[in-house]
Structures are given as C-alpha cells and as structure tokens.
Amino acid sequence: MISLEFLITSLIIVLIPGTGVLYTVATGLLIGKRASLFAALGCTLGIVPAMLASIFGLAAIFHTSAIAFQVIKFAGVVYLLYLAWMTWRSATPLTVAYLDTQKQHTGIIIKAFLLNILNPKLSIFFLAFLPQFIPETA
C-alpha cells in the first residue's frame, strides 16, 4: 500500500529539477510543447531501467563497484559533451525550429532516454530511496 509519506517525498523529489527536467524544458522552449512531451517520455523511459535495477538489486553493484560506477559515469559525461558539441554547432543558440516529423520525435526520445540511462546517480538514488518505503514482512 502506498503511504502518505511516500507520496509527499516523491512529490518533493519530482519538483526538484534534474538533467531530465532541464532537457525537457529546453526542448519545449526551443522546439515546442509537443517536443517537450516526447522529451518527458524519453526521460521517463530512461528512469525505468534504473528503478528496475534498484528493485532487483542490480544498483547495489554500482554502489559497491567503483569501476562499474565510473564506466557509466564517464559514458554519461561523454554523452553530455556530445550534446553540448551538437548544440554549439547548431546555427544559433536560440533558433526556434519547428519540424514536426516522426524522425525528430524519435531523436528527442532517444536523447532523453540516454540522458537518464547514463546517469549512474539515478540508480543509486533509487537504491537509497525505495527501500525506506517497503514494509517489513514478519
């Protein structure tokens, strides 16, 4: 059963912006509100594997293995640098390009997914957050 404490804590966590929220807002401002929905979908899809890893105990590997954590962390850094490079190479910083195509939406979803899946802190967060709300069975 979902407790009131879990709902309040989850609401506070959702209200604190992270990289996914910043990407979704930036996508909405620069491309449009429909694109921001696809960015939010991609970010959510990127959170699900981290949550499942935590539920099934795989996130403990990141907590105990510094090498696994560093590999995922550096892959995330490389991806963020790639996104920064692509943004820098774009025509102008505030170009509003409205291209409502399926290919663009798929690209937004993939970028948002990678943004969250390559964030090792996300799985460690779930590892620390979720067990507090699992009831003990006697």
pLDDT of 113: 93
Tell me the per-residue pLDDT of 17-61, one tens digit each, with 9 for 90 and over. Answer: 888 888 899 899 988 899 999 999 999 998 888 888 777 776 667
Pairwise CA distance, residues 38 & 18, whole Å? 17
Pairwise CA distance, residues 108 & 126, whole Å? 25
Pairwise CA distance, residues 129 & 106, whole Å? 31
133: tokens are 């709300």
114: tokens are 């990678």
pLDDT of 39: 94
Return the closest-CA partner of residue 44 out of 14, 65, 76, 74. 14
Residue 10 domain-assigned (yes or no): no
Residue 78 domain-assigned (yes or no): yes
Tell me the per-residue pLDDT of 69-115, one tens digit each, with 9 for 90 and over. Answer: 788 778 888 888 887 888 777 755 555 555 556 778 899 999 999 88
SS3 letters across 83-104 = HHHHHHHCCCCCCCCCCCCHHH
pLDDT of 35: 92
This prediction has a pTM of 0.66
Residue 8 domain-assigned (yes or no): no
Give residue 101's identity as a one-letter amino acid code: T
pLDDT of 93: 54
Residue 79 domain-assigned (yes or no): yes
Pairwise CA distance, residues 42 & 110, whole Å? 6
Residue 1 domain-assigned (yes or no): no
Residue 49 domain-assigned (yes or no): yes
pLDDT of 120: 73
Question: In terms of residue numbers, what domain contains 71?
Answer: 23-88+104-133
Residue 42 domain-assigned (yes or no): yes
Pairwise CA distance, residues 108 & 23, whole Å? 10
Give me Rg for the CA atoms of the chain: 17
Residue 110 domain-assigned (yes or no): yes
Instruction: Flag whether pLDDT at 64 surpasses 60.
Output: yes
pLDDT of 41: 95
Q: Which residues contact 87 (CB under 8 A, 6 or more apart)?
A: 93
Instruction: Flag whether pLDDT at 5 surpasses 80.
Output: yes
**Number of folded domains in the chain?**
1
pLDDT of 7: 84
